[in-house]
Amino acid sequence: MDKQKAVLELDEVVIRFSGDSGDGMQLTGTLFSDASALFGNGVSTFPDYPSEIRAPQGTIGGVSGFQVHIGNKKVNTPGDYCDVLVAMNPAALRANFKWVKAGGTIVADSDTFNEKGLQRAGFKTDDPITELKLEDYKVVYAPITSLTKESLKDTDLDNKSIVRSKNMFALGMVYFMFDRPLNFTEHYFEVKFKSKPRVIDANKKVLKDGYNYASNIQAIANTYKVPAATSIPKGKYRNVNGNTATAWGFIAASEKANLPLFCGSYPITPATEILVELAKRKDLGVKTLQAEDEIAGICTSIGAAYAGNFAVTSTSGPGLSLKSEAIGLAVMTELPLVIVDVQRGGPSTGLPTKTEQSDLMQALWGRNGECPLVVISANTPSNCFDAAFMASKIALEHMTPVILLTDGFIANGTEPWLIPSMSQYPAIKAPVVPEGTTNYMTYARNEKLARGWAFPGTKGLEHRVGGLEKDFLKGTVSHDPINHEKMVDIRAAKVAKVAEYLPEQEVFGAQEGELLVVGWGGTYGHLLTAVQEMRAEGKDVSLCHISYINPLPRNIVDVFKRFKKIVVCELNLGQLANHLRMEHQQFNYLQFNKYQGLPFTIIELKDKFNQILGGK
Amino acid sequence: MDKQKAVLELDEVVIRFSGDSGDGMQLTGTLFSDASALFGNGVSTFPDYPSEIRAPQGTIGGVSGFQVHIGNKKVNTPGDYCDVLVAMNPAALRANFKWVKAGGTIVADSDTFNEKGLQRAGFKTDDPITELKLEDYKVVYAPITSLTKESLKDTDLDNKSIVRSKNMFALGMVYFMFDRPLNFTEHYFEVKFKSKPRVIDANKKVLKDGYNYASNIQAIANTYKVPAATSIPKGKYRNVNGNTATAWGFIAASEKANLPLFCGSYPITPATEILVELAKRKDLGVKTLQAEDEIAGICTSIGAAYAGNFAVTSTSGPGLSLKSEAIGLAVMTELPLVIVDVQRGGPSTGLPTKTEQSDLMQALWGRNGECPLVVISANTPSNCFDAAFMASKIALEHMTPVILLTDGFIANGTEPWLIPSMSQYPAIKAPVVPEGTTNYMTYARNEKLARGWAFPGTKGLEHRVGGLEKDFLKGTVSHDPINHEKMVDIRAAKVAKVAEYLPEQEVFGAQEGELLVVGWGGTYGHLLTAVQEMRAEGKDVSLCHISYINPLPRNIVDVFKRFKKIVVCELNLGQLANHLRMEHQQFNYLQFNKYQGLPFTIIELKDKFNQILGGK
Amino acid sequence: MAKYNYTAQDFKSDQEVRWCPGCGDHAVLSAVQKALPDVSEVLDYARERYVFVSGIGCSSRFPYYVNTYGFHGIHGRAAAIATGVKVANPKLSVWQISGDGDSLAIGGNHFIHAVRRNIDINMLLFNNEIYGLTKGQYSPTTKLGSVTKTSPFGTVEHPFRPGELVIGAQGKFFARTIDVEVKLTSEIMVEAAKHDGTSVVEILQNCVIFNDRTHSNITDKEFRDERVIVLRHGQKMVFGKNSDKGLVLNGLGLKVVTIGQDGYTLDDVLTHDAYEPNPGVHMMLVNMEYPNYPVALGVIRNVKDSTYDDNVRDQVLEVQRHAKITCVDDLLNSGETYDIK
Amino acid sequence: MAKYNYTAQDFKSDQEVRWCPGCGDHAVLSAVQKALPDVSEVLDYARERYVFVSGIGCSSRFPYYVNTYGFHGIHGRAAAIATGVKVANPKLSVWQISGDGDSLAIGGNHFIHAVRRNIDINMLLFNNEIYGLTKGQYSPTTKLGSVTKTSPFGTVEHPFRPGELVIGAQGKFFARTIDVEVKLTSEIMVEAAKHDGTSVVEILQNCVIFNDRTHSNITDKEFRDERVIVLRHGQKMVFGKNSDKGLVLNGLGLKVVTIGQDGYTLDDVLTHDAYEPNPGVHMMLVNMEYPNYPVALGVIRNVKDSTYDDNVRDQVLEVQRHAKITCVDDLLNSGETYDIK
Ligand SMILES: Cc1ncc(C[n+]2csc(CCOP(=O)(O)OP(=O)(O)O)c2C)c(N)n1
Ligand SMILES: Cc1ncc(C[n+]2csc(CCOP(=O)(O)OP(=O)(O)O)c2C)c(N)n1
Ligand code: SF4
Ligand code: SF4
Ligand SMILES: [Mg+2]
Ligand SMILES: [Mg+2]
């Protein structure tokens, strides 16, 4: 090992914290990323936790990880591979070593690398480093558990609490390695444990002792410095994950539409936090109803929409399946409703805590009959806010259900977000029928082809809606064949017409050329980074990342035809590619697909693009 | 009116019986079609009834119709327009006049054309014929109600029963018009009312009196004769509708597979009769469970499949929506299961008693995750038997859920069916794991990529399945990324592989040429007739009617490339066309779509095909 | 001092009523249309405040025929839709219309959860013990052994007793009536409307086409008085053409006695207490079946408790009283933020 | 004469048990694994005859850990899947494993219908009053006012009492136990297995992570004896560390008395009759709540009635005895046919 010590300046670095589910790795990673964001770095994070709450201690099944990517400019992904891995036990090492860059640094708690620990993690020898062929890596074995105990032996904390503080010792070490100030984290302790001064002191002490220990030992070869970003816009920031941003986007839409927000929902990983976030907002008058199941979730929302609230429902893939029939009812009754699907690995229960983009076809087609609706997607954690806002605006102004697709990766991932002001957002004007309107025709339409929305309780607008086919104007039940044909057409036309009110598709990079990368949803950061890097290398690659999937942007054909080749990249078997084949058959769509429950890596993307460019 | 009377010989004729829901038109039509079938005609029928059980008497909403097409050779559709309309009241006339061929014959019960009746039916004048511009039609006003009363005045039947017999009077009239013997129908009375000789006599009398009345009056210009078909294969026949044939196809598969049949289902129009038919078959050991809802319907079936029964579940579009999530479970657990969807007009509750083909995309894609399964369709009422048999064979031999799509039109329609012998059908061999097998690997696969099916209760084969992603071999839960990718691929490959075991696609007509008509499902009779007629007229048109939708037949590309133009005809907005665009993007697919809740007419099909041929 | 002066006519819509002639639904519709003017006066509800929500079934066409707001939902989901309507706008008077299949088969889960939450809606359960609209399959209330389209050899399932299920789900209001008793039905509708919380009204309804006379052994005029007992809070539990029969306590159960016989006097007869929270006696009353007992009609259980919609409203008000965040800008700027300069 | 001589070990699978350390599920698993050898002897079940069916939730991972057949279903559908398994092969001994969310929230409908049908399965309801797997949202059994992830200001819903709901759905067998009482749980499992029909066993289970100590005011060792009563058929309803407390009838209700005080003797104390079909007393027993009453454990209700699976089997046999159609060829040629010559 290299014994020299110096402060090296880096453009970016990726750190992965990993340990048992009970080791507090999510918190440790969050604190590190918050400190880095406050320091002015570009930051992107991704938690990676098991579907068990707490699998048996020390086993691979129970390993919980949290990856942080920081940079001296905006970073768009949490990073493919990490420079530093913190492994609180052998299982964490075993589960994560393949994510460490060749020659990277591994900080391990040597106290846990005993016979029992190694065996639980499935090691066959007492030399995990050799066993995993990590001889060329920089491994820092530190007795973190015993040092933590030592550090806190004079406090009156019980033993369990003391041992639980070891993550802060590790964090202190990492802070030293990356030349980070401790004050942000110390401030966090002060707020969090306001009424328990002794706990504050203890945490500060462990953190500091970890920091000092790292500075004292010779094992840490270098410390790194990732300077604050200069290219990042100035202003007030917060870190935000996709689920919180989604919830807040709905609340923002409710404010702009001046309609109470109602969310009928049922918990499901990884969408639950949207409901959790909304439930907190009684201060803003948000009503959440945790229903008995997903069907009741959407049906209460449909009832609320009929009654004049702005209604949303949140779920993940299996829940979207259950909501299918009721979505059809919302289409037929032409009520505004946003259904957000935080996609996860499928089919069936599948891989509930892993990410995937495999619900697109279900969103487009998963209902009986010709049953069109708007489908849009979100790109990044903070973009979930805008996507939720736009989904709401479309639903309310066009009187249609909208499915918003996010995914586990952006739902749980965080990034710094330049806090917007609501004054920057457009008004939302639903076609509410005013009291006093005479001769209200339930299915008469405005220029958007939206019907008028009359609220129960309003005198003179009494009317009936339902799931049977509707008369073209009156909205009464109609079995007339020609009326049905007209209604099928107009429902399709109404959705198609939304494109006229949406922004045109933008292209990152050259506006014409060799290769157009097409993507959608949560792969944005990876696709952008890959394209950026390749463009920096002089390659003729551009990115067309589609947010509006149905209807597609009105200029999409113009965009496509300016490129020689198109490659559609998705975390599924090619669902957007198929959608494009249906909508715009004239183009040849190459595909790049991955379905491992994991995001793309920049490396595999660039390999693929280079191969396509080379193979022309 | 032409006063001459003669027996004219016709190749084919279409008769439509229509009246109030309570007027017994379904029975009347069925008796006429049975008599014609027994006589040796080609026959095809279609009932057309309202979604109300019994709407108010005399209103349009309550009109129930039954159309019968008979010919001197096999007829493939119930006919576009009718030669003769029987209208038991003004509402029936109003609802059906547009279905009468120009100049056709209308037989009406003049007793019901009073002020009240006309008004209920929405006539504004007392002259419905002029009001509907039917002056050029042959209208036979007969006082059917009073003549029926007269006919039965000496019986001891109560008045209500007497009036209810008027349909038999009308039937007698029609029998005269078409020179039909009465004995088949008389025999029916004898069987049906075995223990009530007076009822037998009364019915025979009314029928005869109707016959005689028609022969006596001068109003009936001609009687027609449609000779028995000579081209129809000889043998033992029965009339069958699609739902019965479907149910029987499952029972046949159960016999061939030597596995008990289980059906968990929930009633829904127009699929209910499958469950009804299966419930009758306790004699053959069929177990039906009328579940509390569609989800329980499929889940009990999945449980039964796990336990080693051959399991099916029946539904229509909204029910298929509800089953989505559980279908994913069947895909993941790789259990055999047939889901039959009798399609109806959508979206949502839509037009429950009308036909449509708009659930194809839902069948293909309506589930979370990458969740492939086999989708096949049935073409005609009697073909439902073979389709259900094949769906079962595929499910059981390939260990996969199969969705069988039929529709309201063929489910309720009937046609004569040359009764097959079970010896003509192939054996069904499910990959059941025998007791004594050692080292059973739950997800190890055979040459079809089907896993072995081990029945609970068998010693030594204890295993666990479920909805979480499965280990490639052992079938235990696996969160491994590469394993997931392998499993997504193999599930897709398993379904794709089914094509190797299916018949190649056949083409009716020339095997290459100008225009290939592509269709699927219940439009077969109409497409075939249109293509037959055009070929007879010397037009270069062929028909490719696809039964196996996913996977498509392995020679489909070969078929398509031999034609200059392809037109895909469907009762939806173009779902098969879109499926073909996804699967075989290289061809240009013209479309002809209709979505009025009605079948195609031969006329509109031929117009369209001629236009395409002309416009080349 | 009548404020609205509505008549039944005001609650008739222009839609043609499409039930079979002779269907019990007609009578129920008319009873409801007769009750609503009273409800309006008693509770000060203008016509536009009513919303009728239904599922799918013959009975579920009901909303089309009432001249106010209406939602004809999907099969089984009426309770969930109605819940959403009520929570979204608690000022509305929400009426759920649902058949025995709609509310107890496919809709069973929403039914028990609405009852448990005690959301303030009025649920009319049209119990014809059959699926009418789909033409005669058995339902969860069909009597054991009945031959129907899907049970050609008789059903093999024990039916639910709706009242028992309601109590099992913590129901606070349960009433029972029969279609032909229009006056009693109207009276019960008013009581249901007045009750805060989920009011379940079971209507023994005749389906002339597919299950004719299923209730006839208690509803037929000639012996109805002897086989039903109409319960009214605070009144003695007497019945019979001559009001000479009564219910008395017998150990832990109930017994039918003839007043004046075997030493029983009117004093021995129980007085109906619909307000008793303990469900014990109400459970016995809802479970009374002919021929051992008269079938109980009227409001059997009517207990005050907090409602879901009130609780939601109170909680929102309470939180808002102390709220620091009052608009989205506040929210976005709350918690951990930092400045990049 | 033991036939199988199984031990608990025979029912342990090779899968690593993945519940949190301290989770109540561990104890239940062990109780079941201890009971199955007994069940096998008593009912003559070989190991391969058991099938464990579950939904989704922490508790629903149970089947992976039992070395026999198992089906880990989808959320809420365990009762429906288990029903299908049992009807398909009535010889199997079917055990349903399900959490309070799985069986009473999303699975509520299948739950009440399985109970109503009296299908012969054993349902273990792991009631931790929380959604464990999804990390701590309230469930339909969460106490009113509880703060959870989705009720930051306290819940506003009245919880179900599972036993009450079971009786409302015509349940014939209901028992209650607590996770830590491994012996009692094992004993109840054997009783549940012996009962023909749906046997519902509510297990008061602790979720150490998201709802720690929710049952502790009755399960904590130091006062457990004073706050629970273990009911056994035919035995007096006595409880307390010194077995000096008992339940007596008090009008239409129950009352806790101390034997030897206020003139109460052991003779006054009720004897538990689990076989009584009339649900009156059982309803009171399942509803007893601390602090007014001790919480009832043991088999509270155990009533014989025909089961769905037996009825199905009997009907098939009966029909087949007179059957004219015995194969598909018969069927195709039955009814109206005709010859074209
Ligand atoms: C999802 C779904 N499943 C099934 C149906 C078919 N269906 C419509 S109404 C009904 C049952 C009707 O019975 P009930 O609720 O008792 O009402 P009734 O007609 O007797 O008034 C059924 C099974 C449907 N419309 N939707
Ligand atoms: C269709 C569907 N909806 C929601 C979920 C998410 N989910 C999984 S388990 C669960 C609840 C778990 O609670 P409970 O049934 O009480 O079991 P416990 O974990 O407490 O044992 C939920 C909401 C899911 N997996 N599938
Ligand atoms: S079928 Fe029965 S329930 Fe339906 S409208 Fe007719 S009589 Fe009424
Ligand atoms: S989260 Fe709770 S219920 Fe789930 S395993 Fe952990 S302790 Fe048990
Ligand atoms: Mg009904
Ligand atoms: Mg739970």
* Pocket lining for ligand 2, CB < 6 angstroms: A 266-268, 294, 318-319, 322; D 56-59, 75, 99-102, 126, 128, 130-134, 139
Using the mean position of ligand 1's atoms as its centre, give its distance from the Cα of residue C131 in Å: 6
Q: Look at D81 and B293 and tell me if their CB atoms are within 8 Å.
A: no
CA–CA separation, B293 and B62 (whole Å): 29
Average pLDDT over residues A456-475: 97
CA-nearest residue for atom 23, ligand 1, is B267
**B536-588 residue pLDDT tens:** 999 999 999 999 999 999 999 999 999 999 999 999 999 999 999 999 999 99
Using CB atoms, which residue from A347, A479, A595 is nearest to B328?
A347
| The amino acid at A201 | D
Distance between alpha carbon D59 and the CA centroid of its chain, in Å? Answer: 13
Average pLDDT over residues D120-143: 98
Q: Look at D74 and A52 and tell me if their CB atoms are within 8 Å.
A: no
> Cis (ω within 30 of 0) for the bond into B347?
yes
**B contacts of D70 (beta carbons < 8 Å):** 463-466
Q: Look at A465 and C15 and tell me if their CB atoms are within 8 Å.
A: no
| The amino acid at B509 | G
CB atoms near residue D4 (< 10 Å): 15
Q: How confident is the model at residue B22 (pLDDT cuts 50, 70, 90)?
A: confident
User: What's the DSSP call for residue D32?
Assistant: H
Q: How confident is the model at residue B5 (pLDDT cuts 50, 70, 90)?
A: low
Runs of H (alpha helix) within A217-359? 242-257, 272-279, 294-306, 317-333
Q: Tell me what percent of chain C is helix, strand and coil, each rounded to the nearest 5.
A: 35, 20, 45
Report yes or no on C137 lying in a domain: yes
CA–CA separation, C75 and C56 (whole Å): 4
Does the pLDDT at position B285 exceed 60? yes
Q: Report the run of H or E that residue A31 belongs to, with start and end.
A: helix A25-39
Q: Which residue of B has its CA nearest to D326?
A: B284
The reply to whether A22 touches chain C by the CB within 8 Å rule is: no
Q: How confident is the model at residue A230 (pLDDT cuts 50, 70, 90)?
A: confident
Question: Which domains, from first to last, does chain B contain?
Answer: 7-225 (3.40.920.10), 234-501 (3.40.50.970), 513-613 (3.40.50.920)
Report yes or no on D340 lying in a domain: no
Using the mean position of ligand 4's atoms as its centre, give its distance from the Cα of residue D17 in Å: 12
Residue B242 and residue B411 in contact, taking contact as beta carbons nearer than 8 Å? yes
Å between D54 CA and nearest CA of chain C: 19
Q: Which of A519, A606, A602 is nearest to A566 (CA)?
A: A519
Average pLDDT over residues B283-299: 98
Residue D51 and residue D68 in contact, taking contact as beta carbons nearer than 8 Å? yes
Q: What is the pLDDT of residue A433?
A: 98
CA-nearest residue for atom 10, ligand 1, is C57
Ligand 3 and C207: CB distance under 6 A: yes
User: What's the DSSP call for residue C192?
Assistant: H
CA–CA separation, B13 and B30 (whole Å): 15
Question: What is the pairing mode between strands C228-231 and C295-302?
Answer: parallel
Using the mean position of ligand 6's atoms as its centre, give its distance from the Cα of residue A409 in Å: 27
Q: What is the pLDDT of residue B369?
A: 98
**B430-483 residue pLDDT tens:** 999 999 999 999 999 999 999 999 999 999 999 999 999 999 999 999 999 999
Q: Look at A348 and B366 and tell me if their CB atoms are within 8 Å.
A: no
**D183-211 residue pLDDT tens:** 999 999 999 999 999 999 999 999 999 99
Question: Relative to the CA of A52, which ligand 4 atom is closest?
Answer: 5
**A415-447 residue pLDDT tens:** 999 999 999 999 999 999 999 999 999 999 999
**A292-337 residue pLDDT tens:** 999 999 999 999 999 999 999 999 999 999 999 999 999 999 999 9
Average pLDDT over residues A547-573: 98
Q: What is the pLDDT of residue B232?
A: 86
Q: What is the pLDDT of residue A52?
A: 67
Please write down the HEC assignment for all residues of B160-207. HHHHHCHHHHHHHHHHHHCCCCCHHHHHHHHHHCCCCHHHHHHHHHHH
A interface mutation test: which of B292, B348, B550 has the most A CBs within 10 A? B348
Residue B126 and residue B115 in contact, taking contact as beta carbons nearer than 8 Å? yes
Report yes or no on C125 lying in a domain: yes
Least confident of A55-69, A408-422, B88-102, D215-229: A55-69
Does the pLDDT at position A615 exceed 70? no
Report yes or no on D263 lying in a domain: no
For residue A441, with 0-12 CB atoms within 10 Å meaning exposed, 13-18 middle and 19 or more buried, which class applies? middle
CA–CA separation, D32 and D36 (whole Å): 6
For CA atoms A101, A104, A109, A110, give the dihedral sign: positive
Q: What is the pLDDT of residue B156?
A: 84
Report yes or no on D290 lying in a domain: no
A244 conformational bin, left if phi > 0, alpha if psi -120 to 50, beta if neither: alpha
Residue B228 and residue B72 in contact, taking contact as beta carbons nearer than 8 Å? yes
- Residue B225 DSSP SS3: strand
**B341-375 residue pLDDT tens:** 999 999 999 999 999 999 999 999 999 999 999 99
β-bridge mates for residue A407, sequence order: A343
Q: What total of structural domains would you count in chain C?
A: 1
Q: How confident is the model at residue A57 (pLDDT cuts 50, 70, 90)?
A: confident
CA–CA separation, A519 and B337 (whole Å): 36
Residue B411 and residue B243 in contact, taking contact as beta carbons nearer than 8 Å? yes
Count of CA atoms in the C-beta half-sphere (13 A) of B6: 5
The reply to whether B493 touches chain A by the CB within 8 Å rule is: no
Residue A570 and residue A355 in contact, taking contact as beta carbons nearer than 8 Å? no
Report yes or no on D41 lying in a domain: yes
Give me the torsion for CA of C32, C33, C38, C42, rounded to 10°.
Answer: 70
Structure tokens at B436: 């004594």
Q: What is the pLDDT of residue A616?
A: 46
CA–CA separation, D173 and D124 (whole Å): 12
Does the pLDDT at position A2 exceed 50? no
D interface mutation test: which of B289, B322, B422, B465 has the most D CBs within 10 A? B289
Residue D82 and residue C122 in contact, taking contact as beta carbons nearer than 8 Å? no
Q: Which of D63, D56, D4 is nearest to D28 (CA)?
A: D63
Planar angle of CA D137, D140, D146, nearest 5 degrees: 55
For residue C173, with 0-12 CB atoms within 10 Å meaning exposed, 13-18 middle and 19 or more buried, which class applies? buried
Report yes or no on D83 lying in a domain: yes
CA–CA separation, B56 and B59 (whole Å): 6
Residue B585 and residue A581 in contact, taking contact as beta carbons nearer than 8 Å? yes
Structure tokens at A463: 């009317």
Q: What is the pLDDT of residue C121?
A: 98
Using CB atoms, which residue from C118, C158, C280 is nearest to D117?
C158
- Residue C247 DSSP SS3: strand
Using the mean position of ligand 3's atoms as its centre, give its distance from the Cα of residue B169 in Å: 28
Report yes or no on C335 lying in a domain: no
Ligand 1 and C139: CB distance under 6 A: yes
B311 conformational bin, left if phi > 0, alpha if psi -120 to 50, beta if neither: beta
The reply to whether B8 touches chain D by the CB within 8 Å rule is: no
Does the pLDDT at position A1 exceed 50? no
User: What's the DSSP call for residue A599?
Assistant: -
Count of CA atoms in the C-beta half-sphere (13 A) of A414: 25
Q: How confident is the model at residue D306 (pLDDT cuts 50, 70, 90)?
A: very high
CB atoms near residue C201 (< 10 Å): 24
**D contacts of A56 (beta carbons < 8 Å):** 16-18, 21
The reply to whether D156 touches chain A by the CB within 8 Å rule is: no
Percentage of chain A exceeding pLDDT 90: 86
What is the residue range of D120's domain?
A: 8-214
Percentage of chain B exceeding pLDDT 70: 98
Q: How confident is the model at residue D165 (pLDDT cuts 50, 70, 90)?
A: very high
Residue D120 and residue D197 in contact, taking contact as beta carbons nearer than 8 Å? yes
Q: Report the run of H or E that residue A524 belongs to, with start and end.
A: helix A524-536
CA-nearest residue for atom 5, ligand 4, is D19
Question: What is the pairing mode between strands B287-290 and B513-520?
Answer: unpaired
The reply to whether C150 touches chain B by the CB within 8 Å rule is: yes
CATH number at residue D123: 3.40.50.970
DSSP string, A560-578: HHTEEEEEEEESSSSHHHH
Q: How confident is the model at residue B616 (pLDDT cuts 50, 70, 90)?
A: very low
Question: Relative to the CA of B293, which ligand 1 atom is closest?
Answer: 3
Q: What is the pLDDT of residue D250?
A: 87
CA–CA separation, B587 and B607 (whole Å): 23
B53 conformational bin, left if phi > 0, alpha if psi -120 to 50, beta if neither: alpha
Residue B229 and residue B74 in contact, taking contact as beta carbons nearer than 8 Å? yes
Sequence-distant (6+) residues with CB within 8 A of C176 are C163, C201, C202, C203, C204, C286, C295, C296, C297, C298, C300
The reply to whether A9 touches chain B by the CB within 8 Å rule is: no
Q: What is the pLDDT of residue A257?
A: 98
* Complex-level ipTM: 0.97
Å between A211 CA and nearest CA of chain B: 36
pLDDT tens digit at each of 341 positions of chain C: 689 999 999 999 999 898 998 999 999 999 999 999 999 999 999 999 999 999 999 999 999 999 999 999 999 999 999 999 999 999 999 999 999 999 999 999 999 999 999 999 999 999 999 999 999 999 999 999 999 999 999 999 999 999 999 999 999 999 999 999 999 999 999 999 999 999 999 999 999 999 999 999 999 999 999 999 999 999 999 999 999 999 999 888 899 999 999 999 999 999 999 999 999 999 999 999 999 999 999 999 999 999 999 999 999 999 999 999 999 999 999 988 989 88
| Sheet-wide strand order for D295-302 | B464-466, D69-72, D50-54, D93-99, D122-127, D199-204, D173-178, D295-302, D228-231
Using the mean position of ligand 5's atoms as its centre, give its distance from the Cα of residue C206 in Å: 9
